[in-house]
Structure 1
């Protein structure tokens, strides 16, 4: 019946989109709950900051190790089956942590968990990007990133409900992954057929999608730098510890609330021009930090808007990549973005720490420099967006 075709079609398209977007929320919850859980558990066992940091780095090691093999995994198993296996593997890995009374098995387990999480993130986001029409891609990718951010923020709150003692936090986190596994295998979740990338070497995509990869590198570098040092920057500028922590929270709320509206704008404008605008806007905003940091009434709204515009550069860039590339090529781009994220996460905090030692406003100058350089990329590389 013609009258029923349109609503049914809409529903069929809505269910996979909603399921994959919800997967971003679940992934964020696992990450937000797991990070403090591991840190506090190791601290309770008497290990110092060095051992905690070394164990935390294993997650990044696992993500970096699996990234080059992502296109091959997607081609071998298909996105749906690969995500399901990663969800089951991640849940099983979490159940193994409390069984060990020694710290050493936690290192390979964190590597495994990092690898499984990276498969979930890359393949779910690339799958969502592929099945979304271009006229809605910016909003949908912004929604995915927003739900992921909300999940990360809710994770520590859930930890306070489960408590840190005993096995319940590990079991609860594993339960989220098992539930997500059931959802991903639902009959309406029909994944795109696996298609091999057109380029045999992964690094070739650095020249094919430089804007998306550069956006990932930028976000990773400044995200790690800002979350690590913004509060310290405010304290050194005369803020109390409580006010500085609130400033960081307000900044992160900007990324939560502004990505969908900016995604809506990207669906109705030229994404290249929007990326240039966001790049120069965030560059100018960072240059205002040294002035705003001495005026809280200006600092709070400035950091809120700045982080919203800054975080949106990634979702807009990936929406542009999804419009140009499909199937195995898009998965390969996401895999290369994973490598860029790992590199940025390692280098961003280190460079920003050196910048803060060189100048009282080194963090602001570092952020402005990176955002300004990024704005030049879509300005110069006209055919890459």
Structure 2
């Protein structure tokens, strides 16, 4: 209940929860290790940015293609079996890359890998949301997102340890997925019984969970925009390349450090109020970027807090959705969220690039506008939180 400190379950009771949050770390590791691996390998083979970008897009194509079938897949196989098969399929797919005589098989293979990764992400997060009590849901979803971010950050470091030459990095990444497949089949990993969604058409969930789906779209758009262009924006404002890169790292660290504490606050208070406050902070913080970039002592803490508040909007929104919806309905909402993420990932960087061409502070105005518009949803759609 809001306002009351309810303890988390014992470690034994939390085994499934801890195992599923670890899947967030695994997913992040694979993404963080795989993306630079493919990019650098293709570049070394002499292919230009067009081929590299096209190959990278295949991952999103696979994710978008599988998303509409996710509720049916969850009902037919159950989340545990579906995630297990996706982990094994992803591991086998990774092992096929270094044995390709040319790079052209890499395109369908990356579509497959994107589909497998999407199954892992959507079904593990929806499973975790279902088995978590409402009094702890904000913290647990925040922890999942935090571990995913940590995995993405650690991935490139692991690549530097394995080296990029030969088959070892592919084998190492595949081994991570196969080890996770063993974990998901552990005796304590009892998944909720599969249940079909109550709505026959996926698009009807747009009206049932507009805040969770819109939050996903917003996060995807601004995450892609900020990670792609924040350093460039800082450099245009007079920062050195080293300082601008460090600013981006500090910003991403904020998302890693603040999601669990903010999730704890949302567990003890009203999640609608928390979302309104977070979106106002994100809007106001983005409006301060032009001023803060003139003063590095202000820019570093501002971007740290901004990304912590901004990224937490997603975990709080999904915790609220998990409190209202269950079983097949929750899987359907996550499937729509994955579609929203794909759309946001495609459109965010393109729109922000156009905004930066239109105005020197176009990135800040773009971020503030989106966050300000999102604030209207929890303000007026009270029944959706």
Q: What TM-score comes out, normalization by structure 2 length?
A: 0.97
Question: How far, CA to CA, are the matches of 2:234 and 2:11 in structure 1?
Answer: 48
Question: How far, CA to CA, are the matches of 1:69 and 1:350 in structure 2?
Answer: 28
Question: How far, CA to CA, are the matches of 2:239 and 2:51 in structure 1?
Answer: 31
For residue 15 of structure 1, report the CA deviation from its aligned partner.
0.5
Question: How far, CA to CA, are the matches of 1:127 and 1:229 in structure 2?
Answer: 34
Which residue of structure 2 lines up, in the alignment, with residue 133 of structure 1? 133
RMSD of aligned residue pairs (Cα, Å): 0.6
Which residue of structure 2 lines up, in the alignment, with residue 287 of structure 1? 287
Which residue of structure 1 lines up, in the alignment, with residue 191 of structure 2? 191
Which residue of structure 2 lines up, in the alignment, with residue 163 of structure 1? 163
Question: How far, CA to CA, are the matches of 2:28 and 2:377 in structure 1?
Answer: 30
Which residue of structure 1 lines up, in the alignment, with residue 271 of structure 2? 271
Question: How far, CA to CA, are the matches of 1:293 and 1:157 in structure 2?
Answer: 29
Which residue of structure 2 lines up, in the alignment, with residue 355 of structure 1? 355
Question: How far, CA to CA, are the matches of 1:281 and 1:301 in structure 2?
Answer: 13
Question: How far, CA to CA, are the matches of 2:220 and 2:319 in structure 1?
Answer: 18
Matched, 1:99 2:99: yes
For residue 338 of structure 1, report the CA deviation from its aligned partner.
0.2
- Superposed CA deviations along residues 54-86 of structure 1, whole A, max 9, x for unmatched, are 000000000000000000000000000000000
Question: How far, CA to CA, are the matches of 1:22 and 1:273 in structure 2?
Answer: 29
Which residue of structure 1 lines up, in the alignment, with residue 57 of structure 2? 57
Alignment of 1:232-243 (within 5 A): 232-243=232-243
Alignment of 1:27-46 (within 5 A): 27-46=27-46
Question: How far, CA to CA, are the matches of 1:172 and 1:280 in structure 2?
Answer: 43
Question: How far, CA to CA, are the matches of 1:289 and 1:125 in structure 2?
Answer: 33
Alignment of 1:278-317 (within 5 A): 278-317=278-317
Verify the 8 A CA contact 1:278 1:310 in the aligned structure 2.
yes
- Superposed CA deviations along residues 247-302 of structure 1, whole A, max 9, x for unmatched, are 00000000000000000000011000110111111100000001001110000000
Which residue of structure 2 lines up, in the alignment, with residue 342 of structure 1? 342
Matched, 1:86 2:72: no
For residue 103 of structure 1, report the CA deviation from its aligned partner.
1.1
Question: How far, CA to CA, are the matches of 2:131 and 2:154 in structure 1?
Answer: 28
Question: How far, CA to CA, are the matches of 1:105 and 1:294 in structure 2?
Answer: 48
Which residue of structure 1 lines up, in the alignment, with residue 379 of structure 2? 379
Question: How far, CA to CA, are the matches of 1:13 and 1:266 in structure 2?
Answer: 22
- Superposed CA deviations along residues 331-371 of structure 1, whole A, max 9, x for unmatched, are 00000000000000000000000000000000000000000
For residue 13 of structure 1, report the CA deviation from its aligned partner.
2.2
Verify the 8 A CA contact 1:12 1:188 in the aligned structure 2.
no
Q: Which runs of 5+ in 1 are unaligned?
A: 1-8
Question: How far, CA to CA, are the matches of 1:290 and 1:241 in structure 2?
Answer: 18
Question: How far, CA to CA, are the matches of 1:22 and 1:65 in structure 2?
Answer: 26
Question: How far, CA to CA, are the matches of 2:23 and 2:342 in structure 1?
Answer: 21
Question: How far, CA to CA, are the matches of 2:323 and 2:265 in structure 1?
Answer: 16
Question: How far, CA to CA, are the matches of 1:332 and 1:70 in structure 2?
Answer: 7
Higher mean Cα deviation, 9-18 or 131-140? 9-18
Q: Which runs of 5+ in 2 are unaligned?
A: 1-8
SS at match of 1:186: coil
Which residue of structure 2 lines up, in the alignment, with residue 5 of structure 1? none
For residue 313 of structure 1, report the CA deviation from its aligned partner.
0.1
For residue 187 of structure 1, report the CA deviation from its aligned partner.
0.3
Question: How far, CA to CA, are the matches of 2:97 and 2:103 in structure 1?
Answer: 9
Which residue of structure 1 lines up, in the alignment, with residue 5 of structure 2? none
For residue 10 of structure 1, report the CA deviation from its aligned partner.
2.9
Which residue of structure 1 lines up, in the alignment, with residue 209 of structure 2? 209
For residue 12 of structure 1, report the CA deviation from its aligned partner.
3.8
For residue 94 of structure 1, report the CA deviation from its aligned partner.
0.1
Which residue of structure 2 lines up, in the alignment, with residue 331 of structure 1? 331
Question: How far, CA to CA, are the matches of 1:355 and 1:336 in structure 2?
Answer: 27
Matched, 1:121 2:121: yes
